[in-house]
């Protein structure tokens, strides 16, 4: 893989911004850099979504890294299932959680060259 969990979180946040709010990429970046989120947004929900994106990206990254050591990369369905079972963030609806997981799994799959037109590492 040529990117990091942080890069995966940034890409997922950018894709999720139209659905979950335009502040999401800035909030994810603030969490990555250890700064405070922008004050003009609903802080509780925005911070919860940013935390979910970061946690999902880190966990998906770890799953891919660990399973790749054992052979072939994991299937998207198995990664999504593990994330759904493990990730619960207060202040985030199940629909929001599932959308975040879907995007993170798609972005992680791009690293494996599974997306059409992507380059395998």
Tokens for 116? 């059409």
Q: Where on the phi/psi map is residue 62: left (φ > 0), alpha (ψ -120 to 50), or beta?
A: alpha
Average pLDDT, the chain: 80
Quick one: pLDDT at residue 20? 86
DSSP string, 41-91: S-HHHHHHHHHHHHHHHHHHHHHHHHHHHTSSPPPHHHHHHHHHHH---TT
pLDDT digits (tens, 9 = 90+) for 5-17: 888 889 999 999 9
Average pLDDT over residues 19-23: 87
Quick one: pLDDT at residue 79? 92
d(CA 72, CA 14): 28
């Amino acid at each position: 893989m040529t990117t990091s969990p942080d890069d995966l979180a940034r890409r997922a946040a950018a894709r999720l911004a139209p659905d979950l709010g335009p502040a999401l990429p800035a909030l994810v970046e603030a969490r990555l850099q250890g700064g405070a989120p922008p004050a003009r947004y609903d802080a509780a929900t925005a911070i919860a979504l940013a935390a979910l994106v970061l946690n999902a990206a880190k966990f998906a990254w770890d799953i891919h890294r660990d399973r790749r050591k054992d052979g072939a990369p994991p299937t998207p369905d198995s990664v999504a299932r593990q994330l759904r079972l493990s990730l619960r963030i207060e202040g985030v609806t199940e629909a929001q959680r599932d959308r975040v997981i879907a995007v993170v799994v798609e972005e992680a799959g791009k690293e494996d060259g599974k997306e059409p037109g992507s380059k395998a590492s």
